[in-house]
Chain A
Amino acid sequence: MAKRQVMFTFPQKLIKEPIIYDLGIKYSIITNVRRADVSENKGWVMLELEGEENNIDKGLEWVESTGVRVDPVLGNIVEA
């Protein structure tokens, strides 16, 4: 089992969608929200994902395909 810490940024139109729930169900991932701020206009959630490496990769691809932005919690590792 692998763990990954990610941040989801939701555009307004997706705020009401149960994307984190669906991610857990569809890809057998344990989703553990650590910090979040969701308002009427925009929302972000920092969470830890636990599951098979391959499932996490596929699950995050699916999340991005919905229009939610996915970023590493650590920020960019690649620096100039």
Chain B
Amino acid sequence: MSYAKALRCRKCGQEYPLEPRNMCDVCLGRIDVTYDYEAMKKTVSKDNLCAQPVSMWRYRDLLPVDSKEVDIGTGYTPLTKADNLGKELGLKNLYVKNDCLNPTYSFKDRAVSVAVTKALEFGFDTVACASTGNLAASVAAHAAKANLKSYVFIPSNLGSGKMVGAAIHKPNLVTVNGSYDDVNRLCINLSQKYNWGFININLRPYYAEGSKTLGHEIGEQLGWQAPDCVIAPAGSGLMFTRIWKGLNELAILGLIDPVKTRMYVSQAAGSSPIVNAYNNDSKHINPVTPDTIAKSIAIGNPSDGEYAVKIAKESGGGAWAVSDKEALTGIKLLAQTEGIFAEATGGVVIAVLKKLVAAGKIKPDDLTVAVITGAGPRTQDIMADVVHATLVEPTVESFDSAFDK
């Protein structure tokens, strides 16, 4: 049995059993899984964690699952010492957490692996999500592995061409003749009508917990310590808050010292409701209409934005936004210094990191982790301008001439 105890509302503290649920009935607040950390402490140690599989499931004791996991090989992605990028930016202890290297090329596999495992535990025969890319691919892949039926909903104006990564796993791909808001509304209505596991609705408390393993891995891979700074992207803000939770759980379990990490939110200027709230010193997130190439974080009404702001403030970090142009430069910088091709969201992270260093917020010696959450190839059309091939004749002379040899 897991150490998960209950679901609890973050706002009013109302508790619920560990069931499919999306919000608090009393105050409509967000709900989280709570754990018996005292009991967990008795079995979790560095030695027994290190003996576990090299995947996110080495932290299974810290996750709310009771059954065999649905795993397609997610997690324990590289934490790469980024000396070239560090030199470029003026940082001596920079690491890149490369979550591009998950099975469907983004961090979503962590969250979905837990959510689909719970879907089976709850007896659902169908899982569903509304997604325009990374989440859809991950849900479809995990549903295939778990022999579950799946539905993926997308707005029709997106076009289905970008959905190959999901479609290859043969979900029921549904294009909805309407806007994002219409898709939102339809999914909420369907989640009330059908007994399905909706990944980011009634399975969301469990989905959220999968992202904690990013924090767990960072702490372990740094030799059981928390970094001085984490720079991570925020769309809904959920993953950002879970990196913090993951690090703090390691401290609660006595595996690392108390966490003093400064947490920095990075968003695209065209969709930055969390950064706006941070800058306005507001607890409330005013929704915006997104306009950015960083589609993975183009969320105008972020469900966990308020908590992302809280963590950025309480940790002594911050919240920064960069333009799409800066994000594109960030993608190139990461690719051309560290060999990592990230999606636009990764470019946002690198561009924010650059700004933080320039502003003196991050010092050269700070142990810094930049979290790269998704790979570039799925959206490579935004980088088409990098292709400048040199045409040569099939002769050595022609090659030498072209390259001044």
Residues of A whose CB lies within 8 Å of any CB of B are 4-5, 9, 34-35, 37, 42, 44, 46, 48, 69, 71-80
Contact = CB atoms under 8 A, between A and B. Distances in A.
Nearest to B134: A80
A78 B403 CA distance: 49
Given A79-B299, A80-B235, A80-B298, 7 more contacts: A44-B284, A72-B185, A74-B22, A76-B303, A77-B183, A77-B187, A78-B187
A80 B131 contact: yes
A42 B276 CA distance: 15
Given A34-B26, A77-B188, A9 B287 contact: yes
B102 interface: no
Contact of B200 (A9, A37, A42, A77): A77
B295 interface: yes
B346 interface: no
B303 A75 contact: yes
A77 B28 contact: no
Contacts of A72: 184-185, 188, 301
Contact of A77 (B23, B201, B296, B297): B201
Given A5-B28, A35-B27, A78 B287 contact: no
Nearest to B183: A78
A10 to B, nearest CB: 11
What are the 4 A-B residue pairs with the smallest beta carbon separation, nearest first? Answer: A75-B303, A80-B296, A78-B130, A77-B184
B286 interface: yes
Contacts of A71: 287, 301
A80 B295 contact: yes
Contacts of A48: 28
26 contacts: A4-B188, A5-B23, A5-B28, A34-B28, A35-B27, A44-B286, A71-B301, A72-B301, A75-B299, A75-B302, A75-B303, A75-B305, A76-B236, A76-B299, A76-B300, A76-B303, A77-B184, A77-B200, A79-B131, A79-B132, A79-B236, A79-B299, A80-B132, A80-B133, A80-B134, A80-B135
Contacts of B376: none
